[in-house]
A and B are shown apart, each in its own frame.
Chain A
Amino acid sequence: MYKVTIGLEVHCELETKSKNFSSAPNKFSTSPNEFVATTDLGLPGILPVPNKEACKKALFTAMALHCENPDEVIFDRKNYFYPDLPKGYQITQVTKPMGKNGYLDILVDGKIKRVLIHQLHLEEDTAALEHFPKYSLIDYNRSGIPLIEIVTEPCIESADEAVTFLEDLRDVFLFLGVSEAKSNYGQMRCDVNISLRKSESDELGTKVEMKNINAFNNVRAAIEYEIKRQSELLDKGEKIIQETRRIAEDGKTYSMREKVDAVDYKYFIEPNIPSTKITTEYLEELRSKLPELKLDRYFKYIEKYGISEYDSSVLSKEKTISDYFESVIESGCSVELAVNFVTTSILSTLNKLEITIDELFITPNMLAGVINYVNDGKMSLDAAKKLLYKAIDEKVDPVELIKKENMQQINDYDTLLELITKIMDENSEVVRQYVEEGNNSAINFFIGQTMKKSNRQANPNKSMEIIKEELERRKNNG
């Protein structure tokens, strides 16, 4: 058996109005070269002007990943020739990245795994190349889009851990609102470095790099394939070649190029962007806006509210839903009922209507109102859910609907007795069957009738008790 060591380099495009160093819109388009400014083309004389929002979002993400932040923002140039890099250099961060030495805790097989973050830096995306047999085309839409790169330490030990980390990292981006992180748009991509070594050895094995994998299941496939391939080679006593490989559609990896020496990118500080000090006050202000992340919420739900692991995971998965749920219980209503309503009625409604929770008519406050009716025994859970759907359909406040339609549950003994007596008087034949023949199905008949005649407002439990009492009374009275 071999020990697997994996390090990930994750690229994620940030969501901003304009590009990182130009005023061209930062938008995805299938129409090539639609969103391009002179700066993105690297025309002579252009100068970069950094995007403040991108800097802020990169800092914010670094903060959420528990990184140390720098005392100033500066950029460096990474120099290399490639047609997707119009300036001949990429503006990136080497000297002072937005974050260093952080971590993200993930939950794998019920255990917490701490994935160490080496650094997070802000850079610009390259143009996209499309190759044809006799020529290649360049689409500059992507050129200059703000990109953060997150480099982990080589501390990941399985495909499961790698994929969970990527999923959780994407959730971090979504929770922070820094990116939509859509891998099908190439907004989130990943390079995987993997090496194998004998279990007893402390020395890392030869590293193989796999570049630019979009989909997470491809990351899994690539890692699993590489573990198998490298294990087989090592079993045979062969050496692993240090190289860059790519994953193909068949799920196998193929060699792209052998790595002879590391490329010298001749980094130096970008002279056109003066350094900007980051004050402690600015960092503190930013820190105060950090939302609680997925895993923290998950454990809070379990430990503080006693919610089941399954429901906790459902409720913490998406920030908007989690925020919604927390707003509902903030009002002090029953947590158990809130879990029930959110994980069933609300989520199924979102699914059915294909809307996000922000688009849902029912506010947390409205839902809390309904829950209180149920909790106070003024309404059955069943009735409340039906009411809720109706309120969603009609786009009205459910509490108003209850009041308007007088839909409160009837709990009053005398009211129920009066109604039940009337029903029994009208159905003397059914009463007779119970009294004389001992036919218990009469009870169900009267429950049904009571609910029907009360517009389903009668408290079913109380009604049941009164029906039984009344039937017994009539039997005894002969």
Chain B
Amino acid sequence: MYRGKNISELKKQLENNEVTKEELFASANKLAHYFQDDYNSFVTILDEYKVKDRDSLLSGIPYALKDNFSTANILTTASSNILKDYVPVYDATVYKKLKKAGALLVGKTVLDELAMGGTGTTANTGVVRNPWDKNRMIGGSSAGSASCVALGIVPFSIGSDTGDSVRKPAAFGGVVGFKPTYGRISRYGLFSFASSLDHVGIFTRNVKDASIVTDVLKGYDPKDMVTLKDDNKKYTDTLDNDIKGKKLFYIKEICNSELYKDSNDHELLEVLDKFHKMLDKCRNLGYVIEEVSIDKNLLAAIYPAYMCISCAEATSNNANLTGIQFGPRGEGNNISEIMFDARTKGFSEFIKRRFILGSYVLQKENQDKLFLNACRARRMIVDKINELFNEYDGMILPASGGIAPTFDSSSEKLTDRYLLLENHLAIANFGGFPSITIPYDFVDSMPIALNITSPIMQDDLLLNMAYKIESVTDCCDIYAKVGDIDV
């Protein structure tokens, strides 16, 4: 049996010659095709692979890659019409490393168009559905990468995380979502959304697998100036370290139950109740967990600051999509009209809205008040968290205030009540902090997750802490056992 097996289990089967990598690939391929109609995880499903056996923990292991990583000779669309026929000529560093490790690419996964969005509903090839409940979203933007791991099609997949695009869909899909410190993994070949916030992230079904994949992907890359020097650590080596006395904090203004006591949102109340019970379990493990208070105004600035910065950078980063060098050529009487037409037809309304917002905040007359103030707010938030990190080893919070939303619910919970609960994950993007989401329980038969974020460079400690917490949940290696298929 292949489906639902984690990396270590598959590796063992390979080593014991119980299975061949051809068989693993065929199983993954079969599952990918089987679930495609119902869940729409993939833009492209590959029916063959071209990698050799390597001396690596990932050799022979099937995986999926978000469709915003450049893969030479393989269609890469970013789920946008403006790139619907784009076949890159070069490989992203991440893809190169995975090829070199002998991992088997099963497919390129659907994302919210150009990685902008958190619903998994805005791809040009249709919505991605949540494996635990087809009527619910998986979240985004790394929607397909989350769903294919949650369906058990592959043991790991690669996504990108600019605000929470790995960690949120991981939470809704009941899988582990990890983004290491900014610069730990090269972004070269990842289609830029907001360069100062963009991270490569990893989906797996347990913390150890996330460490295995990170060990392969991390490292300095001369092609990405922001990559860090190699830390020469193997994160899998320190997973079992003693965590007694490690200090975590949660933010009162985000998840103190008192704040929501008059709410009639039973999902929210149950999520918070289970979160605090989970904290007690962690305390029993030896963690010291304390509540801290942060100026609410500062926290309320996270979402608007994120929108200002990410849209501003996105406007510029996507200015190459004009249909001139590549992509569908627009029509018109002059070059401006041609580019205008290509962009008008090539982007959905959501994208145009973000570009207009980004352009607006960068305009000379607005820039100081909007864009630069957003950058200042970002700095203040990061400074505050770093100040707390002087005393604590990490921040622990519910990844979301609820379970995966249904398709008919409002796509973004923008009311005051949810503003902080639904948007705090961007803190880790602001500061480049390593951050991991792990499932720990269920509400209404849907998985819920907690998020831990640590100081920069402490990826190893974060994985170590998450690994220990995972051990007291019943959610290690879970996947949605849907479908009538035996693979």
User: Which A residues have a C-beta under 8 Å from some C-beta of B?
Assistant: 38, 41-50, 77, 79, 81-83, 86-89, 136, 138, 264, 266, 268, 271-274
The answer on a CB contact under 8 Å between B312 and A268 is yes
Number of interface residues of B (CB under 8 A): 46
Residues on B with beta carbons closer than 8 Å to the beta carbon of A77: 316
The answer on a CB contact under 8 Å between B225 and A272 is yes
Known: A81-B336, A83-B335. A266 touches B78 (CB 8 A): no
Given contacts A88-B322, A266-B364, A268-B316, 19 further A-B contacts (CB under 8 A): A42-B325, A44-B78, A44-B191, A44-B320, A45-B68, A45-B70, A45-B88, A46-B189, A47-B192, A47-B224, A48-B225, A86-B324, A86-B325, A87-B319, A88-B320, A136-B335, A264-B363, A266-B362, A273-B225
Known: A38-B90, A86-B320, A86-B325. A47 touches B225 (CB 8 A): yes
| B interface, over-half SS | loop
The answer on a CB contact under 8 Å between B191 and A266 is no
The answer on a CB contact under 8 Å between B226 and A272 is yes
Does B249 sit at the interface, judged by CB under 8 A? no
Residues on B with beta carbons closer than 8 Å to the beta carbon of A42: 320, 325
Partner of A88, one of B88, B313, B316: B316
Q: A138–B318 Cα gap in the complex (Å)?
A: 20
Interface string of B319-334 (1 = CB under 8 A from A): 1111011100000000
The answer on a CB contact under 8 Å between B225 and A45 is no
* Contacting residues of chain B (52-81) with chain A, CB-CB under 8 angstroms: 68-70, 76, 78
The answer on a CB contact under 8 Å between B362 and A47 is no
Does B8 sit at the interface, judged by CB under 8 A? no
Q: A136–B335 Cα gap in the complex (Å)?
A: 9
CB distance from B197 to the nearest CB of A (A): 9
A–B Cβ pairs within 8 angstroms, 18 of them: A43-B88, A44-B76, A44-B83, A45-B92, A47-B187, A79-B316, A79-B362, A83-B322, A83-B339, A86-B325, A88-B316, A264-B363, A266-B359, A268-B371, A271-B195, A272-B224, A272-B226, A273-B225
* Contacting residues of chain B (215-264) with chain A, CB-CB under 8 angstroms: 222-226
User: A78: nearest residue on chain B (CB-CB)?
Assistant: B316
* Contacting residues of chain B (107-127) with chain A, CB-CB under 8 angstroms: none
The answer on a CB contact under 8 Å between A79 and B315 is yes
User: A129: nearest residue on chain B (CB-CB)?
Assistant: B335
User: B360: nearest residue on chain A (CB-CB)?
Assistant: A266
CB distance from A105 to the nearest CB of B (A): 35
User: B197: nearest residue on chain A (CB-CB)?
Assistant: A271
Interface string of B331-359 (1 = CB under 8 A from A): 00001100100000000000000000001
Does B32 sit at the interface, judged by CB under 8 A? no
Does B188 sit at the interface, judged by CB under 8 A? yes
The answer on a CB contact under 8 Å between B322 and A81 is yes
Known: A44-B88, A268-B371. A83 touches B316 (CB 8 A): no
Does B196 sit at the interface, judged by CB under 8 A? yes
Residues on A with beta carbons closer than 8 Å to the beta carbon of B187: 47
Residues on B with beta carbons closer than 8 Å to the beta carbon of A264: 363-364
Known: A79-B316, A88-B316. A49 touches B225 (CB 8 A): yes
Known: A38-B90, A77-B316, A266-B316. A49 touches B362 (CB 8 A): no
User: A265: nearest residue on chain B (CB-CB)?
Assistant: B364
Residues on A with beta carbons closer than 8 Å to the beta carbon of B195: 271-272
Q: A47–B324 Cα gap in the complex (Å)?
A: 19
Q: A42–B322 Cα gap in the complex (Å)?
A: 11
Q: A268–B358 Cα gap in the complex (Å)?
A: 12
**Taking each of A49, A88, A271, A273, which has the highest tally of chain B beta carbons within 10 Å of its own beta carbon?**
A271
Known: A266-B359, A271-B195, A274-B225. A45 touches B69 (CB 8 A): yes
CB distance from B111 to the nearest CB of A (A): 13
User: A264: nearest residue on chain B (CB-CB)?
Assistant: B364
Partner of A45, one of B191, B316, B326, B364: B191
User: B363: nearest residue on chain A (CB-CB)?
Assistant: A264
Residues on B with beta carbons closer than 8 Å to the beta carbon of A271: 194-196, 313
Known: A38-B90, A81-B336, A86-B325. A49 touches B223 (CB 8 A): yes
